[in-house]
Structure 1
Amino acid sequence: MRDRVDRGGHGRHHYRARRGDHGGDGYGAEPSEVTEEPTCPTVTQWLTAPVREAKYSFSPDGTSWQKTSHKDLAEQANGAASYFTLNGVRPGDRVGLIVEAGPNFIAAFFGAILIGAIPAPIATPPPFGSSNNYLLYLRNLIHVGQLDIIVCGETARSTADLATDALTARVLPVQGSFDKTAPVEPHGFANDDLCLIQFSSGSSGTNRAVHISHQNLAVNTQAIAHWLELGRGDSWATWLPHYHDMGLIGGILTPLVSSIDIMAMAPQTFIKNPAGWLSCFGEYEATVTACPNFALDFILRRVNSNMVLGHDYSRWKSLVCGAERVDHQTMTKFANRFGVQGFNIHTCTPAYGLAESTLAVTGKKLKSAPRSITVRASSLSPGSQVHLGPAGADEVRAIVSCGQPVDPNSCVWIEHDGHSVPEGVVGEVHVKAASVAVGYSSTSRESTNRFEGGKVNTGDAGFLLQGELFVVGRFGDSVKVRGRTFFSEDVDAVLFRLTGVDSHNLVSILGDTPSGPAILVVTEVREVSILTDIRNQLTTHFAGLTIQVAAVDKGSIMRTTSGKPRRRAMWDAYATDTTDGNSPPSTSLVEAAET
C-alpha cells in the first residue's frame, strides 16, 4: 500500500475539506494529524453483485436506445475475461483497447481487469481524416504506454496490424459481442497495483501514459459519487469519449460503481444531434452529466426552443462543467435559454480535475449557485495578489470558482517559486490526495518530477479565495510582457466578448518569438470584417505583443481527441514556418488573413 497522504507541509497555505462536507473552515489552518484513507469499494466490486434493475442504455443515433442491464454487462465482462485468457492475455499485460463506445467496450475494459491485465483505452479511427495520422498516433501510444496487446474490431484491424509491425505488441481481434458467461475467478491485486493506463495529451498534444492504481480509481470514484450525492434514483447521461478521463471515470466507472443508470452516446452522435442528448434529461429524466465548456457553446448555437418542446429539466441536478476554463457568460446563457424547461442555474457545477489526479479534484457544492468574481487582468501574474474590479470594465476578467476539494482527505494549495502563498495570490495549483496517479510510464517524454509522494504539480495557474479554487490558465499557454502575464484563455474570452467568435471557431496561442512575445489567433472564420475586428481588438487590449491573425479551413484547427485545442502543436508549426517571428506562415496550417 502506498504511503498515507500527508496533509501539507510546514507553513503551507492550503485548503483541506473536512470529512462529511465539501467546505468548512479548514482553509489556512495547519494540517491535521495524518489518518488512514477510508476503505472504498473497488471499481470491480459491482461485478460480483450487479443491481439487476440498473441499466446501461446506448443510443447510436440520439433517438433510439439499446438497453443492457448491469447484470448482463457483468456477464459480458466475464465473457471477455475468458476470451482474453483463451487467447494468451496474461496478468500484467498492458492491453490497448480500440473498441467502439457501448457495452462491448465496458466488457473488454473490465474483462482485462478481472484477469489482472491493465486496460489502456485508445481512440477509434476517426470517420474522416488521414489514416496515416492515426497510424502514427497509434504507434506513439503503443510506444509511450509500452503496450503488449491491441484489442480491436474490424474498423481498426488493418491499422493496428501496421502499427504493431516491428514492435513488440500483438493484435487480438474482436468480432461481435462477448459471450455472457459465469463469473471467472478474479485475479488478486493490491491497492497500489496498476489498474489503468490513461493517455493524456492536453494542449501540447504530447502523449503521456498516466499510471492509475486500483486505490486511485476507488478513492476518486467514491469521492465523485459522494460529492454529487449519487443514489438509486439518479441516471448519468454522457456523450464524452470513453477513452478519456472525464468520459471513462466520470461517465462510466463512477455510475457503474454507484449502481445507477447510464445513458450514453458517442461524441459523433452528440455532434449530429445535440437535442437528442438534451432529451436524456427532458424526456428520460437523467439527473447528472459532465461536459466541457465548449459543449455548452455548441448546444447554444445548434439547439433552438422548438427542438426541446415538452422537455422538463426540473429533475436535472448537476451539469458538471470542466476539462477547460469555465466561462460564466456561457453558463448564464445556457441557464437562461433552457430556464423555461425548468433548468436552474444551480444545476451548473463547475469543477477542476486532471488525469494526473485520476479525474476530479475540486467542484462546486450541489444546490448552490455558481460563483464568479471579476478581477483586474493586470493582477493575474504569478506571485501577484489578485485585485477585484467592476464587472464590464475594460481589462477586467470574470473567473468562475471551481469549488472545493471533492475528496475530504485531499489537500489543494498554491505555490510560487517553490513556496506556498496566501489566499488571493496567483501561483501553480498543487494537489495531494490518494487519487494522485502513480506517475507516467518511463517512456513518456514529460518529466516525472511532477509527482512526489502522492502529490502532483499541475502546471495550472490559479488562486484560492475563501476556500475555493479559481483556475486562471495553463502556464505553458502564457507569456509575460512588462511584468504582466497573459493567458491564452483570457485572449479567447476577450475576443468572444467583443467579436462574438467563440472557442469552436477560434483559438489563440501565445509564445515567444525573436521579435518578442506574440499572439497568434487561428480562426475558421474568413469574413474580412471579422478578421479586421479581431486584429483591432487584439491591438487595443494586448499592447506590447506582436499580433498575427490567420484564417484556416473548417476543421483545420488542431485538437486533441477530446476536443481541446492543441495550442503548443499549432505554435510549433507556426514557428517552424516563420523565419523572423512576424512573417505569416507558408504551410497549410494557417493562411495570413487579409487586413
Structure 2
Amino acid sequence: MNARSHADGFVETQAPTLAHRLDELARGRGVHGGHDGLAYVFLGDGEHEDSRLTYAQLATRARAIGRHLLDMARPGDRALLMHPPGMSFIEAFFGCLMSGIVAVPAYPPRRNQSLDRLGAIVGGCAPRLILVAEEQRGQLEPRFANAGDEGVAAIACAQVTATDTIANMAATGTLPTGTHPTGTSLADTPPPAVRPNDLAFLQFTSGSTGDPKGVMLHHGALMANQRLIRHGMGHGANTVFAGWLPLYHDMGLVGNLLQPLYLGIPSVLMAPAAFLQKPMRWLRAISDWRATTAGSPDFGYDLCVRRFRADACAGLDLSSWTVAYNSAEPVRADTLARFARTFAPYGFRAEAFYPCYGMAETTLMITGGRQGVAPPVLTVDGVALDRGLLMPPPPADTPAATLTPPRRLVGCGQAGLGLDIAIADPETGQRLGDGRVGEIRVAGSSLARGYWQRLDQTAQVFGQPLTGASDTGRAWLKTGDLGAIMDGELYVTGRIKDLIIIRGRNHYPQDVEAAITNACPDLAAGAAAAVSVETGGAESVVAMVEVERERMRRFDGPMLYGDAMEAVATALELRLDRLVVLRPNTILKTSSGRVRRREMRRRLLDGTLDVLWDSAPPRPVVPADARTEVMADIIAEGLG
C-alpha cells in the first residue's frame, strides 16, 4: 500500500481499514520511532507491567480469534465483548474487526449487579456470541443461563466463548485439529476481507439522556476520525499514549486503543479502577514511559489535584506530556488552572492542555484546538448567557455587574479534518451567528450510519437540514448539546435536555453543581446532580451531592445546605430549594463521566436514593389503606 510521509516523521498509512492497518504493522511496515513494533502494555495494578503485545503478536492472536468466530457466526453477526480491562479485550476486538464480526463492547457486570442495562444492550443488538475471558466463565455463564429470571432472556440465547484461550493456543501452536490453520506465514496470509463500508462495531450510548442506543460505526468512519485525531493533536512517529479510560467506551476505545494502532506506536494502559484508587498511578505512568498524549474527562484532572501529596511525587517528570486532552464533560477553567499550578514543579506545561469535543455519533472527536497553544478562556456575562448570548460582562463598577457574576468558558477548538460544525436554533434549525447559543450540529466524513434498528431516531438525529439556502440538501447531526462559536472557537455550554428553566431563565445544571462542590470541601469533586422538579405547581431546584468518604460521619447537613445556598445564589442568582446528601459512589454517571441527571431525578422522585441527609422535611409514613387519599398531594409536591 502506498504511504505518504510527513515532516514530523509519521508515514501516513493508506490502509483502507484498521484491520488492514494491523496487517500492515504485523508485516513490519509502518512501525515508527524505534518502538520495535510494540503495540500495547498493560499495567495490571496500575503500576507494574502485567503484559505486552507487539503488533505481530496481536495480529496472530486476532486472526486466530477471528477464524474461530467464523466457525460459529457469519460476517455481520454481532458479538458482545465483556472482558475485564486488559489484553483479552484488545485481542477479541481486533479478532472481530479482522473477521467481519460486528463487535459490541460492554463492561462485564459486577457479581451482584443487575443485568438490566446489559439486557437492554443485548435486546437491542441480538448478539450471536458473547466473548469473555476464561477466568470469567465460572461466574458469568450461570448468570447468563438464568438471565430469563431477570427479564433479559436474550442473553441466554447467545453462545459464550473464551477468546483468550483461543489466542493462547494460537500463540503456542496448540489449536485442536479441525480448527482453521494459523501457522501459515504472513506472506501466505491473505489481507482482511473487510471493506470501508462494512459495519465495524456498535458503540452503545451511555444512556445519560435515555435508553442506550447502538451507534453504527463503519470502517471508513473509523479511519476518517483517526486521521482527524492525528492531524488535530499533532501526533507523529514518536507519540506514546498512557491511559486509564475504559476501553468499552468511545473515548478509551477510539482514542487510547485505535489511535495508537493507526499511528503504529505504543500505548500504555491501566484499568479505570487503578486510576480511581490512586490517581498518581496515571501520572507516574506518563512519567515512567515518557508518554506524550494522555487525557481524561475534567473530573480526572480535578481528582489528581485533590489527591495530590508532595511526598508521592518524588522523581515525577511530566515534561514529555504535550497533549493533555480533556473531553466528555464540561471543561472547567479553574480545574485547568489548579492542575497546571499543582504540577508545574514536575514539568507540566499549561500549553499541553487540549480541550476537545466529541461523541460516539461522530466516531469520537469533532473539534480540538491547536497543539502546544493554551486553550482560550472566555469570560462572559452570566445574565446574557442564560438568555443565549455570549457577551462580555459589564464593567465592574456598574450596578449591572452585581446581577449575576461572569462565567468562564473554555474553548474546545475548531472542527476537525473532514467535519463542519454549525450552531442552530434547536426548534427551527435556523443557523445562528457568532456569539449566539444554540444546538451544535455536525456534518462530514466521521459520522456514524445511525442507530442500530432505530430508523425513526436515526432520521430525527442524523438527517436534519439547516434552514437557509446555503445549507439546502445537506444532512446534519443534531448533537443535543448547546454551544456557541466566537472568533472561530467552539464553546460548549450544556445539554438541551438538562437545562433548568426557572422564571423564564435558562440555567445549566453543571454551573449549579460546580458552585456547590467548589464552595463545600466536604463534598466529593464532580459528584453532584442538579435537577428541577415541580413542587406546588412551580419549578424548584434540587441538588444531589456525595459527601467525601472520610467526612461521611462528621459532616454538618444544615451548614452544608447554607453554604450551598449561598454559593448558588452568589454565582447564579438562583435559589437552591433542596440539598440531598448521598453516600459516596451514588451519583450515577455514564462510562465517560457524564452525570446521568435524568436517572438521578427519577430516583429522587421514586425515593430510592441512599440518603445521608436531606434538607427537605421527611414525608410521613402513610398506611396502605390511606395512600389513595394523599396520592394527589404527593404528586403535586413533585415527589411521587
Q: What secondary structure is seen at the aligned counterpart in 2 of 1:380?
A: helix
Residue matched to 1:471: 492
8 A contact 1:208–1:446 mirrored in 2: no
Quick one: which amino acid aligns to residue 149 of structure 1?
Answer: L
* CA distance, structure 2, for counterparts of residue 56 and residue 389 of structure 1: 52
Alignment partner of 1:573 is 2:603: yes
Quick one: which amino acid aligns to residue 593 of structure 1?
Answer: S
Quick one: which amino acid aligns to residue 218 of structure 1?
Answer: M
Report % sequence identity.
29
* CA distance, structure 2, for counterparts of residue 444 and residue 555 of structure 1: 36
Alignment partner of 1:167 is 2:154: yes
8 A contact 1:240–1:247 mirrored in 2: yes
Residue matched to 1:138: 118
* CA distance, structure 2, for counterparts of residue 59 and residue 586 of structure 1: 37
* CA distance, structure 1, for counterparts of residue 391 and residue 207 of structure 2: 26
Worse overlay, 477-486 or 462-471? 477-486
Residue matched to 1:580: none
8 A contact 1:312–1:342 mirrored in 2: yes
Residue matched to 1:527: 556
Q: Of the candidates 393, 399, 407, which is equivalent to residue 409 of structure 2?
A: 399
Q: What secondary structure is seen at the aligned counterpart in 1 of 2:517?
A: helix
Q: Of the candidates 538, 541, 547, which is equivalent to residue 577 of structure 2?
A: 547
User: In the TM superposition, what are the counterparts of 1:312-323 in structure 2 within 5 Å?
Assistant: 312-323=317-328
Structure possessing the higher relative contact order (Cα contacts under 8 Å, 6 or more residues apart): 1
Residue matched to 2:127: 147
Q: 1:410 Cα shift?
A: 1.3
Worse overlay, 321-330 or 266-275? 266-275
Q: 1:587 Cα shift?
A: 5.3
Q: What stretches of structure 1 move > 6 A for 4+ residues in a row?
A: 390-393
Worse overlay, 230-239 or 176-185? 176-185
Q: 1:175 to 1:201 in 2, by over 3 A?
A: closer
Q: 1:535 Cα shift?
A: 2.9
Residue matched to 2:335: 330
8 A contact 1:378–1:485 mirrored in 2: no
User: In the TM superposition, what are the counterparts of 1:107-126 in structure 2 within 5 Å?
Assistant: 107-126=91-110
Residue matched to 1:434: 445
Q: 1:586 to 1:532 in 2, by over 3 A?
A: farther
Q: 1:267 Cα shift?
A: 0.3
Quick one: which amino acid aligns to residue 520 of structure 1?
Answer: V
Q: 1:185 Cα shift?
A: 4.2
Q: 1:175 to 1:438 in 2, by over 3 A?
A: closer
Q: What secondary structure is seen at the aligned counterpart in 1 of 2:18?
A: coil
Q: What secondary structure is seen at the aligned counterpart in 2 of 1:435?
A: coil
* CA distance, structure 1, for counterparts of residue 612 and residue 15 of structure 2: 50
8 A contact 1:382–1:427 mirrored in 2: no
8 A contact 1:144–1:444 mirrored in 2: no
Quick one: which amino acid aligns to residue 484 of structure 2?
Answer: F
Residue matched to 1:26: none
Worse overlay, 217-226 or 556-565? 556-565
Q: Of the candidates 59, 62, 73, which is equivalent to residue 58 of structure 2?
A: 73
Residue by residue over 1:514-554, the C-alpha shift from the partner in whole angstroms, topping out at 9 and shown as x without a partner, is 53222221112243222331134335555565611101112
Q: 1:68 to 1:187 in 2, by over 3 A?
A: closer
Q: 1:49 to 1:189 in 2, by over 3 A?
A: closer
* CA distance, structure 2, for counterparts of residue 566 and residue 505 of structure 1: 11
Q: Of the candidates 466, 488, 492, which is equivalent to residue 513 of structure 2?
A: 492
* CA distance, structure 2, for counterparts of residue 590 and residue 510 of structure 1: 21
Q: Of the candidates 412, 417, 422, which is equivalent to residue 421 of structure 2?
A: 412
* CA distance, structure 1, for counterparts of residue 163 and residue 608 of structure 2: 45
Q: 1:591 Cα shift?
A: 4.9
8 A contact 1:375–1:389 mirrored in 2: no
Residue matched to 2:176: none
Q: 1:189 Cα shift?
A: 3.6
Q: What secondary structure is seen at the aligned counterpart in 2 of 1:411?
A: strand
* CA distance, structure 1, for counterparts of residue 237 and residue 80 of structure 2: 33
Q: 1:504 to 1:162 in 2, by over 3 A?
A: farther
8 A contact 2:132–2:162 mirrored in 1: yes
Q: What secondary structure is seen at the aligned counterpart in 1 of 2:481?
A: strand
Rg larger in structure: 2
Count of residues paired in the alignment: 546
Residue by residue over 1:479-530, the C-alpha shift from the partner in whole angstroms, topping out at 9 and shown as x without a partner, is 2233321011111222234334454342222355553222221112243222
Q: What secondary structure is seen at the aligned counterpart in 1 of 2:121?
A: helix
8 A contact 1:381–1:484 mirrored in 2: yes
Residue by residue over 1:325-345, the C-alpha shift from the partner in whole angstroms, topping out at 9 and shown as x without a partner, is 101111111111110111000
Q: 1:449 Cα shift?
A: 0.5
8 A contact 1:373–1:388 mirrored in 2: no
Residue matched to 1:93: 77
Q: What secondary structure is seen at the aligned counterpart in 2 of 1:79?
A: helix
* CA distance, structure 1, for counterparts of residue 299 and residue 282 of structure 2: 15
Q: What secondary structure is seen at the aligned counterpart in 2 of 1:368?
A: coil
Residue matched to 1:15: none
* CA distance, structure 2, for counterparts of residue 269 and residue 205 of structure 1: 29
Residue matched to 2:3: none
Residue matched to 1:42: 17
Cα root mean square deviation, aligned: 2.7
Q: 1:94 Cα shift?
A: 0.9
Residue matched to 2:460: 449
* CA distance, structure 1, for counterparts of residue 248 and residue 411 of structure 2: 27
Residue matched to 1:592: 614
Q: 1:447 to 1:381 in 2, by over 3 A?
A: farther
Worse overlay, 425-434 or 149-158? 149-158
* CA distance, structure 2, for counterparts of residue 94 and residue 521 of structure 1: 40
* CA distance, structure 2, for counterparts of residue 389 and residue 173 of structure 1: 64
* CA distance, structure 1, for counterparts of residue 146 and residue 384 of structure 2: 52
Residue by residue over 1:108-148, the C-alpha shift from the partner in whole angstroms, topping out at 9 and shown as x without a partner, is 11111212110010012236xx33x2x11211110122323
8 A contact 1:202–1:564 mirrored in 2: no
Quick one: which amino acid aligns to residue 383 of structure 2?
Answer: S
* CA distance, structure 2, for counterparts of residue 79 and residue 586 of structure 1: 47
8 A contact 2:361–2:448 mirrored in 1: yes
Q: Which has the higher helix share?
A: 2
* CA distance, structure 1, for counterparts of residue 574 and residue 279 of structure 2: 41
Residue by residue over 1:90-110, the C-alpha shift from the partner in whole angstroms, topping out at 9 and shown as x without a partner, is 111011100122222111111
* CA distance, structure 2, for counterparts of residue 380 and residue 570 of structure 1: 26
8 A contact 1:41–1:222 mirrored in 2: no
Quick one: which amino acid aligns to residue 598 of structure 2?
Answer: R
* CA distance, structure 1, for counterparts of residue 260 and residue 226 of structure 2: 9
User: In the TM superposition, what are the counterparts of 1:278-427 in structure 2 within 5 Å?
Assistant: 278-381=283-386, 383-388=388-393, 394-407=404-417, 409-416=418-425, 417-427=428-438
Residue by residue over 1:171-217, the C-alpha shift from the partner in whole angstroms, topping out at 9 and shown as x without a partner, is 22206441234566455344332111001125225211111111111
TM-score for the superposition, normalised by structure 1:
0.86
TM-score for the superposition, normalised by structure 2:
0.80
Q: Of the candidates 246, 255, 258, which is equivalent to residue 260 of structure 2?
A: 255
Quick one: which amino acid aligns to residue 562 of structure 1?
Answer: S
* CA distance, structure 1, for counterparts of residue 122 and residue 455 of structure 2: 11
8 A contact 1:152–1:171 mirrored in 2: no
Q: 1:354 Cα shift?
A: 0.6
8 A contact 1:375–1:396 mirrored in 2: yes
